[in-house]
Structure 1
């Protein structure tokens, strides 16, 4: 098989700029440099007339997956490297990824190190795979390509992308094809490369453990089986191969580059490199993505600064210089994330490419333009290292009103993204405060009717939601198989006196405490600003209670279950079970009670939800409750309640103890102006007074073992700074068969959140029973 390639290049000689055209005709499948295919311009280096303009810096990405390095990488040399700045290689350097320890192969015309750009980093595995001449470069193309990928740092001049990577130089130019010219820096010759030499270069690279091979060459003949087999062996070993798209301005890459479409050998690890200019627009000479769009990625390929074979710096253009930008990026990812396979690295670069052209993958830009800012960010689902629990970038915990404005800081842990890459992520900002529980609106806007029927031994209490056309109906908290006519009843209870000293009760969507309060003389006036959840946003489902009098002391046992408010939309509401034992005694005009309550929560702590990222803690609480109510014959009443709680939280990443408190005092007078009643109450709802969660979070990830090898202790304090205080004055008077009530209220630190302004207001309510 015979191949043709026509190439033009500009070179600076003693007399100025010379243009050299050459026609290459050879035996076997021949390959042209810089991805050359048929007729057209190939590599076009031009002399540097002025210093390379400093590009506009790209913002530093976030989150930073590792502690910031002590070395400064944002140097004048970095700013002078247009390709590195365009892809924002600083995102890699800032996490210490410079290519160190990664072998990068370049199959080209060899390499010349007279500038010292590769000193100490040229692998002994480097070889002449087309002869026995050594790896020196007569042409300059190989040196410039290699420098673009991994040239060393040199003050304020341009550098390579992966400047600490190890170079495996694989000289593949056919002996004598470069002309051997020593004029014009060796740029007078025209090199050709056989597919057999490239195949040998791939095998040599594979045996040397190379992670990525750059091939800035191309042909437009059907790929020989020997080359396909070599590519198959390389990709099977995990190697990434980057091939330049070609410089003919065609609608498809060269046939050599289209090997990427052959999944049997490419395995998704062959990337086709197209060229864009500094503005991100496809280069006029670059072959487009065409039918290879799924594997096509663009990078800067115009005016790329690199030395030639004599060590003289030029500005080079061609897809030959887009390819090593991508190869260098592969080396940076391979060092930063040693767990990544070749297929994952290729997929990651393609998946995170910057949008270019039309939305999504298109036939010009393919997947888009190389973007290391996105490639170094977490991609896909994120989970806690060592546990696999999912991490949300939105909300990972939601505090309860009892926890108020607890300050959450320093919750940093190691997380794994969808590629099992380790990152340090601070999730403190994903712990959400609970919104203050609305009290007034439900009391006024919900059209609720209560009915109590009693014959002295039996009492039935029902709460119904009343609706009218066009008005939203309250959702009934009853089983779905109840007839629709009954679903307007949203709560109810039945109590039955069995003997003179024993009573039982059952309820749905009502608390056991309500039944016990009726038996023990602790029922009070109907305040508007009430917190039926006792500092927790909960809804009871079913309750049962038993009361028995033994001499002067009564004992009540109540059981209740229900659900807390769903932490997130679409999530199932977490459940709870509660058991209470209460002792009551009447001493003259005083009714007093003492009780103990145990609250078991299925997946919450005092109503606060801590997701899997924080160990999915659940709580068991014990509360000591006391209440006293005094009433005389003149209509005066005094009342007080208090509650002290102790909560043990247990979760997959640790636990802790919490203390909580709540209290209220009230006074009232019936018959102040006749058939009226006035009451005043001062209360402080349940609030965590101390304690929190002691979490053991993953602090370091070992890629070698694939395990967490370091843990950190974090204290999540759940005691708020705010302290809700509620004052309500109520006056009610019988009027026209109903009751007219006026309420004045003042609420400081709503929901135990100190930053919220006080709430104050007045409400008037009239209730009429038919």
Structure 2
């Protein structure tokens, strides 16, 4: 049985295109070949833009940052441009080390386009004496796949790949393509094609290109193809150039699972605008195995080295084979079946959505094929990684410049990518302090008999009872004592106890101690708050007095709050919660008109660090923090009072997600206030506070991150310790002036505040505002 080489005709004068046989054609633009220095053809796709730091770049092949691949030569290579092969080149993948087999009319042995990349084992498998090409078709196919890059004319897709060429045309069946002549093509026997496929397999080919076509493949060819696919070799077969609804019969072994094993690709042709070529056979019955690539106007030399423009599915096939070589070099762990699956799933959709009867899987596109696919994990750990958000900092960390953090991730194909993970650390969103402080619509209800006090905050009118933290006015805070808890009781003259929901243990302890200080809406006392977004679940406190001394202990269970990473969930106000436990031991003593206090607090966070959450890709950090607090309040007489407090924190973070490392962090906070009662009328109060909320002064996380991957052993070959800095550039300082006075049966109050670097973020505009409130009993 003889099969015709896919060759439409010879080089023709005056740009005419002769069509004969069943294959591709070559033509010059007139009697003179197009000069090598011709201007670049218009690009069908825009030039690739720099890869964002949040998008991983392939790691295995060493990138060549000093090489400019976007040249006139590249732009003349219409197939490479269409598939965006520059994505692979910039990652260091050029086909180097990959053997591509070609069964065709041989190769021009005098050509300089292939150099020592033509394997010495290349041979004539049809009984001829030489592999030298007399037709020009095989040389053009070889160049399209792997023609050299030399800043002249155009280049092949995988320009550093090695070539094994099996010349299989029946001796004497080919005529050299000369200007003004025509040919009926070349004849290939079934035994020669089978021998060529076997020879390519034995030569170590990773991909075999068959730009051949004709009747259905016989048993010898099918068996040879089955042996190749059993060895994991990908075979690319041209679809044929008859413009039919179905591919050539010769390509149909792709549909036979026993032969193809999912490794045979049927190559259709499109133009540089992704339109199916008029001559190309459509996907039809082979749609699931069909992929298109540019097969029109492909610049390549013929038998005598003249650059010609070729058209036919003969030239879309080597584009796809070249793409296979790029992926095989970049990701040596990939099986042939995985490479085929990648090419199909990442192809540009064309025609009807999904796999269709014209374009099959679509148009070859390496842009997405060289990006991670599916679930990503940090190499060597299994910790899931995201290209968007892997950590959310808390308010004490503000705008910390986390710096460059590079790590290796594996996608669902176990391909290694270098990822700039530092760009996926999200700063905390500064809270709108005034709106949350006013808690419009909430009511605080309380009752007591001197020994037991109960206080509850509810939201009237809600369909379900909404429990909120206790909301106390500017005077209520100084009278709170037992009322500062949900339930508080004096067990004896020297012993009192309180429990609460949705209120911190430190506030409970302060209430039991009768700590008197002005209440402010914005400028908080850092020793009485978490310093980060948190919600207390349950708390308890106990206090015992020993003469002038008071000793208090408090326990609290709650959750650090992290705004949801998904935009829609965040817009709905959904928070992710990470549990913590807090315990405090405090002592206080009055020295005349001065009351002093000191406290030691331990904060245990199971999945956060000072309220910041780090995904497993950044170690899944947890932390233990010790806070040392001091405070004093003096009654200066004549209604004046002066208060000050300070907090110093030491945090030790540990990692839980298989990444070695940890970190030490130091935090600070302070507050200073001065106030006076009975300024204008009896019972009024004027107060001013300056405060710095809790802020990281120094420190961060030291992470031992994978930076090199060994595909041979499928393991990390190198780690590097990198610092995730958590100290912000901004420093929030709050100033607030508050005034309150009785009015009828209630109280009217006003507050003016100013926040510099809100949320410890230097780039944010300063925040300021005014609040007026009226409250009354009922």
Query: Do the two structures share a fold, i.e. TM-score over 0.5?
Result: yes
Deviations 1:506-563 (A, max 9, x none): 1111111112112223242332225574321000001111111223322111110100
TM-aligned CA distance change 1:523 to 1:204, over 3 Å: farther
In the superposition, the TM-score normalised over structure 1's length comes to 0.90
Secondary structure of the structure 1 residue equivalent to 2:225:
helix
Q: Provide the TM-score with structure 2 as the length reference.
A: 0.89
CA distance in 2, matches of 1:181, 1:622: 86
Partner of 1:198: 193
The answer to whether the 8 Å contact 1:463/1:492 transfers is no
- 8 Å contact from structure 2 (residues 5, 211) kept in 1: no
Q: How far is the alpha carbon of 1:567 from its aligned partner?
A: 4.1
Q: Could you tell which deviates more after superposition, 671-680 or 565-574?
A: 565-574
SS in 1 for 2:491: strand
1:208 is aligned to 2:203: yes
Q: Structure 2 vs 1, CA of residues 371 and 475 (structure 1 numbering), >3 Å: closer, same or farther?
A: farther
**Residue 673 of structure 2: aligned partner:** 666
The CA distance in 2 between the partners of 1:338 and 1:164, in whole Å, is: 16
- In the alignment, structure 1 residue 697 sits paired with structure 2 residue 697: no
Paired position in structure 1 for 2:173 = 177
Per the alignment, residue 389 of structure 2 pairs with 395
Instruction: Report the alpha carbon displacement of residue 663 of structure 1 after superposing the two structures with TM.
Output: 1.0
Of 157, 162, 165, 2:158 maps to: 162
In 1, Cα distance between equivalents of 2:457 and 2:707? 53
Further displaced range: 664-673 or 637-646: 664-673
Which of 294, 304, 320 aligns to 2:298? It is 304
Task: Indicate conservation of the 8 Å contact 1:80/1:156, yes or no.
Answer: no
Within the candidate set 605, 609, 634, 1:630 is matched to 634
C-alpha spacing 1:98/1:185, structure 2 compared with 1 (3 Å): farther
CA distance in 1, matches of 2:180, 2:94: 30
Q: Distance in 1 between matches of 2:364 and 2:142?
A: 18
What is the distance in 1 between the residues matched to 2:742 and 2:219? 100
Seen in structure 2, the aligned counterparts of structure 1 residues 454 and 88 have a Cα distance that, compared at 3 Å, is: same
Displacement after TM superposition at 1:602 (Å): 0.8
> Cα distance 1:475–1:298, how it changes in 2: closer, same or farther (>3 A)?
farther
- Aligned-partner Cα distance in 1 for 2:390–2:29: 54
2:474 match: none
Q: Distance in 1 between matches of 2:176 and 2:600?
A: 97
Q: 1:203 and 1:577, CA in 2 relative to 1: closer, same or farther beyond 3 A?
A: same
Using a 3 Å threshold, how does the CA distance of structure 1 residues 56 and 696 change in structure 2: closer, same or farther?
farther
Match runs of 1:23-172 below 5 Å: 36=22, 42-49=23-30, 50-51=34-35, 53-56=39-42, 58-60=46-48, 62=51, 63=55, 64-66=57-59, 67-172=63-168
Alpha-carbon separation, structure 2, partners of 1:309 and 1:6? 16
* Secondary structure of 2:11's aligned partner: strand
Q: Secondary structure at the match of 2:341?
A: helix
Alignment match of 1:507 (pick from 500, 506, 517): 500
TM-fit CA distance, 1:171: 1.8
Deviations, residues 139-169 of structure 1 (Å, cap 9, x unaligned): 2221211111112234412222212211111
Aligned length: 735
Q: Does 1:340 align with 2:334?
A: yes
In structure 1, how many angstroms separate the alpha carbons of the residues matched to 2:371 and 2:7? 40
8 Å CA contact retained: 2:523, 2:736 = no
SS in 2 for 1:400: coil
Question: Compared with structure 1, are the counterparts of its residues 186 and 193 closer, same or farther at alpha carbon in structure 2 (3 Å cutoff)?
Answer: farther
Question: How far apart are 1:388 and its partner, in Å?
Answer: 2.2
2:544 paired with 1:558: no
Match of 1:352 among 346, 350, 354: 346
Quote the Cα distance in structure 1 between the aligned partners of 2:389 and 2:716: 24
Change (3 A) 1:604 1:5: closer
Q: 1:413 to 1:21 in 2, by over 3 A?
A: closer
Corresponding residue for 1:682?
A: 690
Native 8 Å contact 1:275 1:318 kept in 2: yes
- The answer (yes or no) to whether the contact 2:7–2:312 under 8 Å persists in 1 is no
Distance 1:148 1:337 in 2: 22
Q: Tell me the CA shift for residue 359 of structure 1.
A: 3.0
2:371 to 377, 394, 397: 377
> How large is the RMSD of aligned CA atoms in angstroms?
2.6
The aligned residue for residue 30 of structure 1 is none
Distance 1:373 1:4, change over 3 A: closer
Please state how far the C-alpha of 1:4 moved relative to its aligned partner: 8.5
Give the distance between the partners of 1:641 and 1:93, measured in 2 at CA: 60
Q: Map 1:606-621; keep pairs closer than 5 Å.
A: 606-621=610-625
CA distance in 1, matches of 2:19, 2:459: 91
CA gap 1:103/1:295 in 2 versus in 1, 3 angstroms: same
Give 1:428 deviation, angstroms.
2.3
* Of 424-433 and 321-330, the range deviating more from structure 2: 424-433
Does structure 1 conserve the Cα–Cα contact (< 8 Å) formed by 2:10 and 2:183? no
Q: Following TM superposition, by how much is the alpha carbon of 1:252 offset from its aligned partner in structure 2, in angstroms? A: 1.3
Alpha-carbon distance, 1:182 to partner: 8.1
Q: 2:310 aligns with which of 296, 308, 316?
A: 316
2:212 to 213, 217, 221: 217
State how 1:546-625 maps to structure 2 within 5 Å.
546-568=542-564, 569=569, 572-625=576-629
Matched residue, 2:473 = none
Are the aligned partners of 2:11 and 2:181 in contact in 1 as well (CA < 8 Å)?
no
Q: Does the Cα contact within 8 Å between 2:12 and 2:181 map onto a contact in 1?
A: no
3-state SS in 1 of match to 2:79: helix
What CA distance in whole angstroms lies between the structure 1 residues aligned with 2:180 and 2:539? 92
